[in-house]
Every structure is written in C-alpha cells, then in structure tokens.
Amino acid sequence: MKPCTLGKPVAATLVAGRNLTQQNIVPSLPVPPLKQTCELYLSFLEPIVEAEELKQTEILVEEFLKAGGVGERLQRGLERKASNTENWLTDDYVKFEYLDRRKPVVVYSNHGMVLPHMNFRNKQEQISDTLPVEYMGGKPLCMKQYDRVLSSCRIPGPKTDTLVFHAKTSNAPKHISVVHNCQFFVLDVYNSDGTLLTVDQLYVQLERICKASPQTTTEPVGILTTQNRDVWSRTYSSLIQDETNKESLSAIERSIFTVCLDRATPQEPDEMRSSAILQILHGGGSQCNSGNRWFDKGLQFVIGEDGTCGANGSHSAADGTYNKLLTIIIITSTLQTNSKYVLTIVHFNLPVHTYRHRDMLINFSLLHRMARDLNLRVTVFEHFGKNYLKAHKMSPDAFVQMALQLAYYRMYQQCCSTFEPASLRMFKLGRVAGIHSTSKASATFVKAFDDPNIKAVNGQAIEGHLLGLRMQTGEENISMPELFTDSSFTKAFNYQISTSQVISKSSSLPCVGPETPDIYDVCYSVLSDRISLIVSRFEPPNTCKVKNAECLIEAMVDALSLPTIYS
C-alpha cells in the first residue's frame, strides 16, 4: 500500500505542534449586539409564522429590549462570560444540541461517510499536532477539535451525557478496538519501540480476529449503544458494577478508534449507494450489523465483506468536517514490512447476566423499526453543476437551498424553516452556527449566501446568541422570559429542512440522519458538472421512496431559469 496525499499537499517533514502555531492569533467568539439579534430574529420569522403570531412576538421583543430589562441583564452576563472564557457558546451548544438529547445517537446524532476505495496517509501527523494549519479567507482556523476525535467517547448518563478524551493524557492509548461478528477485541497498533504496526502486521492481526470469531454472538452488546440515552445510562451503570465489564468498557472507550468488520448484507443493484450509506449510518438494523458497532465512539471505521467502506463519527465530540478529514489521512503508511515483534490481541465479552435479555429484545425491535422507517435516497443531478452556476453569477449553494425550499413548498403548500450549518472555526473552539436560509425575498437570500462577510460565519448568528441568552437565565437566576416560550420561537428553530453542504473533490458520500421524525435531512455536494444529494426522512413503510427526490430534481430543473433572471 502506497501513501496517498488527498487535498492540499502536506510537507514531508513533521514539525511537532505545527497545527497550533497560529492558535494564539485565532480570535475569541464575539457576543453579537442584542438589538441586532432581535431585529434579525423578527426578520427571520416573517415568512414562516402567521401575522398574529408575528405581532405577538414583536411585543415580546420590545419588552425584552427595554432599557434595564431582562434582555440587557442577560446580555451583560454573556459579555462577562465571553471575557473570561475562550468561547462563551461552545459548551452550552454541545450540551444543548447533543449531550442533553435523550434520543439514540444512532441516526439522530452520529454522522456517516461512505468512502471510495483509497489509501491513507499516517495517523502520526494528528497525534503529534503536525497537521498543517487550515485557513479561510487568509485567516487561520481553530485546530483544537482535532484533539477530540481520536481516543474519545461519549458516556451515557441520567439526564445528560459526558464526553471523555484520552488522546492527550499521560498514558495515551496505543490500541484500537476491533469488532467482528459483534465480538470485541483490543489490538495494539504500536510496537514496543513506539513505531506503528506495518500494513502486513495489521493484516495478520485482523485475520486472526476474524478466525477467532467465526460466529455472531447471541448477545450483541454493541446494540446497547443504540438505545435511548436514559435507558442506556441505566444499563451502563449496571454493567460497570462488574469489574471485568468496567475494564472491557474502558478498553473500548480509550481506544484510538473502533474498526468494525462487517459481514455482507443483501443489496438491490439499483440501491447499492443507499444501502452502503445506511450500513455506515446505522448498520442495517438488528438483523444485520447494528450490533457490530460502538456508536458512542468518536470515530469508527466500517469495512464490509461486500466492499462497503466508511466511517461513523460522534457529532458531540467534534464536527463532521474533522472526522471527514481525519478519515482521509488517518490509518497508516507502509513503514517497515519485516516484523520482529510478537503481537497480541485481547478478546473480551461482557457477561450477559448483568442486563436483562428482555431489554435486549425490546431494543432489537426499536432498532429494526428505526432502520425500516428511515427513507434515504441518493440522487445525482447531472443537468449542470458549479461551473454553469458560477458562469451565470449564481452561488451554487444558494441555488440548491432555493430548490430545496421550492420542492418543500410544492409538496406542502407552505414555506418552512430551513437550517444550514456555518463553521465558526474562525474563532477559538468554534463549532457551528445556523444560516437561516428562509427569507422574505429570493434576491435577498441569494445575496446573503454570496456575501463573504455573512453574519453566521463571523459570529453574528442569531440562534447561538439566543441559545446563550436562554442558558444564561440559569446563571443569573432569572425566570425564563416569554420570548423563549413563545410559539414563534418553537416554529423558528424546529426546522423542517436541515441541510449540509459537503465540499469534496472525491466520490465520498457523507450523511447524517434527521434529528426528528418530521424533518428532511439533505446532504449535498456541488461538483463542477453535477450535484450529488442524499435526502433522508423517517416515513412509514408504505411511503413512496422516490417522491421526495423526484420533487427536488423537478424543482432544480425548473430553477434553470434563475441564472437567466439573475445574470
């Protein structure tokens, strides 16, 4: 296997700490002006709420903005917090968006990516902080999230979860966890002299693991990580009462990442891409490979007998962008092929008597229903791509967003709240902010997406600010203002379409599932001559699986006139 550099070339010389050389000049996230956020909020509401609701919200905003009132007090609290922390939003964002959510992480939170057949650069660059600094618009981006992907795990808890990170500890892990036929193994990937295992050594060890687990276990404990988080928390607490279980779980949680060696699954020829994505996203259900996972891990690699290859990552640990980049550069390059070390693997099972078999059967049923009802379709729009749109002075991203809203309107005869994430990596520890692409006028919408100084990217997004203000009520011991319990607030941030543009030159297919049963999730990539889309939604089994994708394609074809209108 030869090393393969993907994307921008990386210098061969590794310089420790290189990816943090610009970290001290990355600014902290600013707190937007209170009045600006409130005005943008009202503007955002106008096309998606009824006139009477908007009028009521305007009254609440006016009350919230009164001099010396609750809004000013919360704003001052946020500004104090911002002056004493690197990022006033990230901890609240991760807690609210991920750790406090009680739905299963599989599909609802974790993201997946199907990979083309490729080679990989080595992981040592990330371990030694030697990845090159990334820039946007000539400004360095925060690189700290790379520390949170490897050797990370989400731990279930009552009411809220926690995250653990082991990569930078004094006793940093030197092993990966491997699961085959729902049985877990620990595999050391470093030799005693600190060098990584060679490709040949890894192959031998993985082959030994497969031979040691020829049959699927009747108690696939990995499936426990697909449970509702409160249910999983109770099961987890019961498991760790046993010392063997505690050590086994710790080995999985501390491992650099998990490798899932899957058995082949039945596939229809015309559904191979969709089937591959579903395998990465949820494992195909309780009858397939869903028990061959540990969905709490920060990063899992999935390799199937049928050629399916991809990665599943935890959104709570790091944004999907980081997992995608690390997936491209991670495993190993060919070092020395002559092995002079004795290598060992450790096989462990969690005693089944520590959780009830009935609970496992219930979870099988729930997971089967989730996998059955997730309607996912891969669509490639081949009429044109980025080159054509840019030639007509249109933002490719704006074009797709408008087509999505047009398709939704045609299906439901109403406008909807639409979300697209914007990276906040221009700021220390920044995660994402929301671009609210539903607007009063399409022209304004296009200009907003073409504007390089778009407010969300520059830390002026309304959703994060409003979340911070709402969370600050607890710090200030203030009763929840009516602004945050208003029906308009619920409508504004209960999105009907959640989107994510994936910038990629490869044929990888990233995907996340819908966060709630009533929304569409759309991942798309605008390439030079085509647009790839993955549309997913929870729908009953008798729903026509092609309807939504066909509506979207039709809307994009009809939107062909837009380049003429705006040229």
Q: Which residues are catalytic?
A: 315
Nearest to 151 by CA among 124, 122, 172: 172
Q: How far apart are CA 563 and CA 512, in angstroms?
A: 30
Q: Which residue has the tokens 């699954």?
A: 265
Name, in order, each residue with C-beta under 8 angstroms of 246's C-beta and a sequence gap of 6 or more.
Answer: 239, 240
> What does the DSSP 8-state code read for residue 99?
I
What's the chain's Rg over C-alpha atoms?
24
Q: Is 294 in a helix, a strand, or coil?
A: coil
Nearest to 23 by CA among 114, 95, 87: 87
Q: How far apart are CA 303 and CA 403, in angstroms?
A: 35
Q: How far apart are CA 143 and CA 427, in angstroms?
A: 10
> What does the DSSP 8-state code read for residue 417?
-
With beta carbons less than 8 A apart as the criterion, state whether 350 and 248 touch.
yes
Six-digit token pair at 93? 């964002």
Q: How far apart are CA 556 and CA 253, in angstroms?
A: 44
Q: How far apart are CA 362 and CA 555, in angstroms?
A: 41
With beta carbons less than 8 A apart as the criterion, state whether 134 and 209 touch.
no
Q: How far is CA 14 from CA 11, 122, 129, 185, 331, in A?
A: 7, 11, 9, 31, 16
With beta carbons less than 8 A apart as the criterion, state whether 457 and 426 touch.
yes
Name, in order, each residue with C-beta under 8 angstroms of 271's C-beta and a sequence gap of 6 or more.
Answer: none
